Amino acid sequence: MNAAHDHTMGSTVPEHTTAVTQSAQSAPAPSQDESGPVPPQPSQSDAPSAAGTSTDRFAAASLIKAAVPSGTLGLDVSGWQTLSRANWTTIYSQGARFAYVKATEGTTYTSSQFSEQYNDSYAAGLIRGAYHFATPDTSSGTAQATYFVAHGGGWSADGKTLPPLLDIEYNPYGATCYGLSQAQMVSWITDFSNTVQALTGRLPAIYSTTDWWTQCTGNSGVFVNNPLFIARYTSNVAGGPGTLPASWYQYTFWQFADSGTFPGDQDVFNGSLLDLQTFAATNPVKTTQPAVAPSLGRNVALAETTAGKVYLFWKGNNGDLWIKTKSGSSWSASTDTGRWIGPGSGLSASVNPSGSFVVIWRGAMPGSG
């Protein structure tokens, strides 16, 4: 237990990693053709290291070359990492392009390093965001969200600011689920999420593990609109983060190791740098899964307007971008846009209230309509 109440993101994960690794399985690849996606069958410790000063630890971490997954690399840090602007310049030169920085915990703690880390990472060229370590047994989701936003957890559409992030994981102080029932936990997260959205204009991303999410929310599927930051440490990063919580069909960020090239935890964004820049700058109206979800994978994307019109995009077997729309309960016919994606993958999409859309994929130029 850390009496200072300054836990890092993922500080409780390593002791649970074995269970998560054994239970996680890679998601199956999507099956699709020009007629549309095929429907599925129903169905680090936060204590400082004793190995020298923070500068020594930074230098040592810089020498580690761990296996990394594909995507855009980044890191997350807290008050335990004392980093200078020169450190952040080195971090950028080593390939990091984003950082999540701890701002708050509960309603009483603000990281002493937050302002420096948040501003210096920005100055070095990284896209950065703030995160909050949740303690659902100490105060309401609304109270903690309000405290978080008032102490650094904001967002702006400048292309350099990531959405606020809720870090909700194993309780470092007691019972795994903080003494809340699964229904109470879902309600707490909902209150936090809704309050952050009301105060910043954007839904927060959610950091957790599949194991914790299953135990403490009953594997809730109601947070599909919140980007997922999944935590899973594995030596086989090529195999992906394994089974995701029920709310999500793909991850946005993945914390894949608690040490490596960069200080703090090692993270990856599920897409290219252009995808990351678009994600930071764009506040999607709504993203969701239809009532009968198609087999969603890296070559399928969904977006929905406030009016309820759903856009479904996918890469057909001919390499083109295909589209169909849904108004009410009826889907339109599948249409080939004629835009060739070729070897590209990892579709993402957003739709403006006017109905115009932007679709981005890896390996090719973005298309719009």
Active site residue 304: no
Nearest to 75 by CA among 84, 65, 88, 86: 88
Could you tell me the pTM of the whole model? Answer: 0.67
- 140-199, pLDDT tens digit by residue? 999 999 999 999 999 999 999 999 999 999 998 899 999 999 999 999 999 999 999 999
Domain with CATH 3.20.20.80 in the chain: 14-22+49-281
Look at residue 52 and tell me whether its pLDDT is greater than 90: no
- Above 80 in pLDDT, residue 53? no
d(CA 15, CA 19): 9
Amino acid, single-letter form, for residue 13:
V
In terms of C-beta density within 10 A (0-12 exposed, 13-18 middle, 19 or more buried), how is residue 102 classed? Answer: buried
Mean pLDDT of 61-87: 80
Q: Which of the following is catalytic: 46, 105, 120, 167?
A: 167
What letter does residue 100 receive in the DSSP assignment? E
Tokens of 95: 């390939």
| Confidence band of 329 (pLDDT split at 50, 70, 90) | confident
Neighbouring CB atoms inside 10 A of 329's CB total: 7
Residue 269 backbone phi and psi in degrees, to 5 = -95, 140
Identify the active-site residue in 6, 169, 211, 275. Answer: 169
HSE-up (13 A, CA, CB side) for residue 201: 11
Which of 130-134, 152-156, 193-197, 274-278 shows the lowest per-residue confidence on average (mean pLDDT)? 274-278
211 catalytic residue (yes or no): no
Task: Please state, rounded to an integer, the average pLDDT across all residues of the chain.
Answer: 78
Instruction: Place 362 in a pLDDT band, splitting at 50, 70 and 90.
Output: low
Q: Residues 193-250: pLDDT tens digits? A: 999 999 999 999 999 999 999 999 999 988 888 999 999 998 888 889 999 999 887 8
Residue 345 has pLDDT above 70, yes or no: no
Residue 105 is a catalytic residue: no
Higher pLDDT, 233 or 29: 233
Residue 292: per-residue pLDDT:
34
Has domain 14-22+49-281 been given CATH number 3.20.20.80?
A: yes
Looking at 6, 76, 258, 265, which residue is catalytic?
76
Bridge partners for 325 per DSSP: 311
**DSSP assignment of 194-239, as one string?**
HHHHHHHSSPPEEEE-HHHHHHHHSS----TTSPEEEE---S-GGG
Confidence of residue 295 (pLDDT cuts 50, 70, 90): very low
